[in-house]
Chain A
């Protein structure tokens, strides 16, 4: 398996621009997670989906952030408009959740976002 795939790996944009981050989870996984990592705040969970349905978006910092999962193999995290304080590494992760509980969670390589 290719693992969790994220694109782009690096993104540099100017304040006010729209940014879209993409994630392809591991095939067969039904839970998908978006995290943000900064030096100051550590690893924060932004939102997660199960069977393509958003379960908890309480970690999304503000209305400028939105996430979608139109099918089991694709998710996006969008920031519009972007601000310098959004600069961080954004990780996508996936796992399988079933009646027996949760399997191991696997992380993608991350997208390093810099907003100038």
Chain B
């Protein structure tokens, strides 16, 4: 099956710093999503981004499907950005929306 690798595995920042999280995948995909799991365990959608670039406030994401990677940018980080960031992909065929998740990047933002 498809492999999804995220880097770095851990990231520690001071409040106000910028960061880039990367997601590499081993095959072509129909769909790519970024999620944030907050310290309370809730999984929240950030972006649905099979290709191109999207922005939402301080967060933006870019997926280059032909080169099989996606990037999540966090600017002016805040302590509330802490948690785990997951990339998940849906491959071709009749998958009915089945997602394969990466192992996540653990982000800690210190005040």
Interface residues of A (CB under 8 A from B): 31, 33, 42-43, 45, 48, 50, 55-56, 89, 91, 93, 95-97, 101-107, 109-110, 112
Contact = CB atoms under 8 A, between A and B. Distances in A.
Contacts of A97: 96-97
Interface in B52-111: 86, 88, 90, 95-101, 103-104
B33 interface: yes
Interface residues of B, number: 22
B19 interface: no
A42 B101 contact: yes
Report whether over half of chain A's contact residues are helix, strand or loop; otherwise say mixed.
strand
Contacts of B33: 104-105
Contacts, number: 59
A107 B43 contact: yes
Interface string B37-48: 000011111001
Contact of B99 (A42, A96, A105, A109): A105
A104 B42 contact: no
B99 A110 contact: no
B20 interface: no
A110 B41 contact: yes
Contacts of A91: 43
Given A42-B104, A106-B45, A110-B41, A101 B30 contact: yes
